[in-house]
Every structure is written in structure tokens, then in C-alpha cells.
Structure 1
């Protein structure tokens, strides 16, 4: 089985809405998953991601909009006519059937000739490391092996699209980590289009080519993982991606500098600063009043306040300061994110660097070095 045997197809959702009486689960969703890509639908519980996946699968009907797979409108087609496979959270294995029978069940119901079934079963079992377990029943397998059987049933169908609804959520943390790598390698080697639902940001950013971040039935941002982390489009995206989440501060927490940036933007702003972007510097003009901390080993999280606003700061584990300590902080300008305080949308201010670099920066009222620099190598 090679990449050429499972050519992926583009999935496009055109204005998908879903209403349950007076409740709207999805609000006109517009998004595409490129052919052969791994796209993750990410968001908190209740945001509509599983409903969206079920609409793609044909298990739910949209109230409005179209589902297109490979350029064909499949909105009205039943699930079994959409040429896709699906892996559920529960794996949905038949307990009375062997591993081989579970994997090959779909081929048998489609009346694929027995020699062809045997050939494809052998390839899939070898690919997933299941060859020694083909005669066992699901109850005789570990959680990871059961998950591979569910994957095998999807892969053996050789469909161009594979949908997965939180397939790793029942595994322990160590097994989830190894299965993430295996699943990503499997998708890359076979080349099918993957649409993967998860509430776990680590799964999404480590596995996906593209992340669709959802919130309350709407799309917050569609971007590669790196862009989602480096340039969040909304306050929600900024807070959802990253562990711990981004600090969001009002302008007054940054003193006169924050007020000057607000004036240049011509609107009320919120300032986003990731915990790992805060840096202790004796000459820095921002002050962090430490209120507590958590030791994590290699690193630690410092809890404190800047200008009355609560913040978290990541430091090396051996550098955790005691509560009551006052730290001077510097911030690299490239790490400062601006958001409209009313809409929550990202604000790009072209003159931000020059505003920060002004030598008469009133934030350095004591005559000390200004708390911001413009380059990460400063």
C-alpha cells in the first residue's frame, strides 16, 4: 500500500449551519481541507466540531450549506455513498470478531473478493504492527492495539478521506504521545485527506498541517500550527493556544507606554504577552510583584501582577522566586500582541516598533532602560 493507492480529496464546507430548534450549533461555517492534508478541528466542548464532522460524514444533515468532497456536492448523499471512512472515539469494535475479522468487516460487506481481502489485510496488519494479533479478540488487546485495529478498519477501505472523532481520548498520556506520531506518519505515508476532531491543543499543533479553531459554532481562525501560536487572530485564539495561555493585559497595566500605543491605534486595546516572553532584566521598567509559583522541574511558573493585572511568567526551574519578590522585566517588542478591546480581533500597528523605540518613552520614568526592545536578539 503506497501513497498513490489512497489519493486524498479536498473537503470544502460552504456555509454550513445547523439548527436544533431555536438553538444554533453551527453558524455558516466556510472552510476547506486541502487534498492529502491533515486538518484538525480544535475547540472546547460544545463548540460544534463533532457536529461539523458528522455533517461531513453524512450522519447529520446541515440546516443550510453544502458539503463538497473532491469538488462533488455530497450534501444529499447518504453516508455510505460518500467514499470516506471514519474512526470513532469508542473504536466501535465487534467484541465477538477477531482482529482480522474486525479489520476486514467492511470489505466483506462490500463483497470484495476473498483473495483481495486477504492481500489488503496482510498489508494493513504489517503497516500497523498487528500481524501477531490477527486471531485475538478485542478484549485480549491493549488500548493502543484496539486503537490500531480501528485505524486498520479505516485504512483497509482505501478511501480518499478519513474522519476521526477524538480517537486518542481514551488512551493514557504516554500512549497518546506515541500514537500521535504513528497516526501522523500513517497519514503522510498513505496520502489520504484527514479531518480530525480534538479538544486537545497538543494533538492539533503536533499533528496537523492546518488547524481550524472553533468557538461557539463559529470559526475563530484557520492556520498552520505555527501561525496560530505566533499570530493569533483573536483573544480567544491567543488564550486557547499555548500552555499556560497568553497573558491578556489592559493598556493601563503597561503605564504611559500602553496609553501611547492605544492613542496611536485610535481604539481601546488589550495587550497579549506569552508567559515565556516575559524576561527578567535588572534595568527593565516593568515591575512584576510575585505572588506565588509552581515548580515543574525543568521550568517553573511564576504567578504575579503587573500594574494590578494578574500574569504568569515561565522561568527555569531553579530560578523560581519567592512570593513577595519584585522583579524588573523587559519585553521583546516582537512578542507583544495587540487586540481590539471591544471586538477581541487582532490589531496590527505598523508603527508599533517605532513607538516602543522612542527614547523619550515615558514608561522609563526613572531614567532606566525602557522595558521593551525591538529585536529578539537584543
Structure 2
């Protein structure tokens, strides 16, 4: 996607572009304007102009419209960093900006998702109806995890306070959040994924599922009792849902598909059992049976080599790479009865097999942009 921005073409062979032919002692760095295509930067020097498309590209990649990237502590994005995006939307390029950021996000072209989510929130808060409609429609594609959703809601609220001094929960945002939760109600795999998301991503950036669901006024159809059960748990907790006659009522409402509610209830019971058990063998069995993630495991089990081995069997590629240091500290890749340094342990073969599997890596990357594909187990995606 290319933004059609009006700018005058420069001839790089022109003497004016190459600079003034002056003696070394007469050079003053950027203090002298040597071309009509230059403008003064905030530091007082003259630099060549960049197109707004290039600025958008830089912002989505680096989080700044300039060509510099600062490492270390993450800098909070502000409205002043993206004034040029408002100008693009005002010039009629809002729909193309949304398509551009969606392509960046779904194809993993950005190092961090924060600039992409900030741009999406800015487009949702614009005054252009075409841009707003396209931006709200792209929420499900860009916000693939609860972390993305909560960061997006955080940016929406901050941008609304800067632009209108209001929190900005309008009809479009409520519908986008409701559709984001309703998309999980299509199959057993999606419902189990929502159950894992509710227990894994409990709070991010000051947001909880309870707040997002309440502000969005989410209502679930009567026929989808499993999704309704999960939403009630997100709002009031599992103890409340199980202490009342709600489950029995939902089973009666679900005429032909009671297995969905049963499968979701079993998964949540397994997660609750994992939080309460002190037996290492029990926690390993629960991990393998329900494909539990690290956040579902009590902290005192995270120093056990066998627990990490069970987690690594179904661990996604990104999480696997992130936890390699922890697994190495536990000597997970050293065999107990190892005869030589060249002999590899079962754990090491398992991890190396996943990291060196080109098809698995490509599928993990493509699955990040496809909701239905990302919910398939690793074995099914690699077949």
C-alpha cells in the first residue's frame, strides 16, 4: 500500500542535491540550507523532507516519526508523536492508513505492537466516518490477544481525554469489544482458548476483562450457553457461577450441544485444581491433559525441571524462546547419565526439534494473523 502524497521529485544527480562545492573550512554542517527540499528541524539544522508515508512507516516500526530508535525503558506514546497521522486522515488517506497498519500487524512487520495499536486507536477516534468504520472493523485482526485489546482500550481512553476530555466509550467501540468476545463462541477450541485467556491475561495496563465487558454492555445469545458461562465467570467469578443454579439452567438451554459447556467446565476445573495442588505428578498430568500455560501454574512449581518439560511440549514458539534462559538455569538440557558432551538429552532434542522446524516457525508466524488457525494444536498445524 502506498500513500499518494504530493511532493516534488528531486534529481539526485543535480549539483544542488549533492551540496555546495566549498572548501572544508567553509562547511558549517547542517546550519546552512543547501536545497529547497530541506527544512529546519527542531534542533535548528536543515534536513531533507520525508514523505508522510515514510513517517508512518517509521512510526509503526520504531514508535517515532524520526529515524532514531532508543533502547532501554519503553517510552510512552503521546498524541504529539503522531500529529502527522491526523493530517493524513484529514487529507482523506485514513482508510489507507488503517490498511497499512493492519498489514504491518498481521504480517509481523513491527518489532512492538504498541505503535500499531496507538495508530489504530487514533483512527478510531478520528472525525472521519470512513476511517472510523475501517478502524473498528480492523480491531479483531490487530488485537489478537487480551494484552493487545487492553492496550488498545488504554490508548483509546487516553487519546479521547486529549482530544475531547471524555473517555470515549461510544457505540462503535462497544460494538468492536462485543464482537471481539463473541468471536470465541464458534467452536469448542475457541471457547477453550477464551477460558485460557481469561485465566492467563487477568490484568494488563490497568484493565481487566470485567471492566471491558461491563463498559461494552456485552450480551450473549441464549443459544450459546458455554460462552455465556465464561462471560459470567469473567464478570463475577467462577465461585459465583458454580454456587448458583446457573450451570443447570445453561445446560437446559443448550439443547443439542451440551458437550461445549461440559468441555469448558472441565478445563476451568482443571485450572482451579492446578492452583490448589501441591503434588508435582498431579500438576504434570493437568498440564498435559488441559494444555495449561505457565501462568496457570503455582510459582513454587516453576523451579521443577519435569514441570517445564511438560509445559514445553505444547508451548508456542514465542513463549518457548522467551523461557529458554529459565530452562537452561534448571539444567533442563543436561542429561543426568550423560556420558559425553556431544550426547544430547531428550529435552534438548525436543526443544531443538521445534526451533529448527522451518514449517512450524512459518505456521506460528502466519497463525498470529489467523484467529481460527492460531487455535489449532501444534500437531494439527504441522501436518
TM-score exceeds 0.5 = no
- Alignment TM class, shorter chain as reference: under 0.3
Select the structure that is richer in strand.
1
TM-score, normalised on structure 1?
0.21
Select the structure with the greater relative contact order (CA < 8 A; seq sep ≥ 6). 1
